[in-house]
Amino acid sequence: DAGVIQSPRHEVTEMGQEVTLRCKPISGHDYLFWYRQTMMRGLELLIYFNNNVPIDDSGMPEDRFSAKMPNASFSTLKIQPSEPRDSAVYFCASSFGGAAGYTFGSGTRLTVV
């Protein structure tokens, strides 16, 4: 298995632009998570899905952030409009079952200038 695949690996964008991060979970996994990591705040859970349904989005910082999972093999995290404080590494992770360990992707490093 290729693991959790995220794209792009790096994204540099100007403030105010829309940014879309993509994630392909491991086939058969029924949970998908989006995390954000910064030096100041560490790893933060933004949102997670179970069977493609958003379960908890309380970690989404504000309305500028949205996430979708149209099918079991694809999810997106969108920021519109982007701001410099959104600069971070965004990780996607998936798992099979609620008690299993998570498999993380390699992350997307977002820089908003």
59 exposure class (CB count in 10 Å sphere: 0-12, 13-18, 19+): middle
Closer CB to other proteins, residue 14 or residue 44? 44
Nearest to 72 by CA among 49, 55, 56: 49
**Closest distance between other proteins and the C-beta of residue 48, in Å?**
4
DSSP helix/strand/coil, 84: helix
Instruction: Give the span between the Cα atoms of 77 and 102, in whole angstroms.
Output: 18
**Closest distance between other proteins and the C-beta of residue 16, in Å?**
28
The reply on whether position 25 binds other proteins by CB under 8 A is: no
- Give the residue, chosen from 19, 23, 24, 48, that forms a contact with other proteins under the rule CB under 8 A: 48
**Closest distance between other proteins and the C-beta of residue 3, in Å?**
9
Nearest to 25 by CA among 71, 57, 87, 56: 71
Contacts of other proteins in 83-112 (CB under 8 A): 91, 93, 97-99, 101-107
Closer CB to other proteins, residue 81 or residue 102? 102
The Cβ-side half-sphere exposure at 65, using a 13 Å CA radius, reads 19
- Give the residue, chosen from 14, 18, 56, 83, that forms a contact with other proteins under the rule CB under 8 A: 56
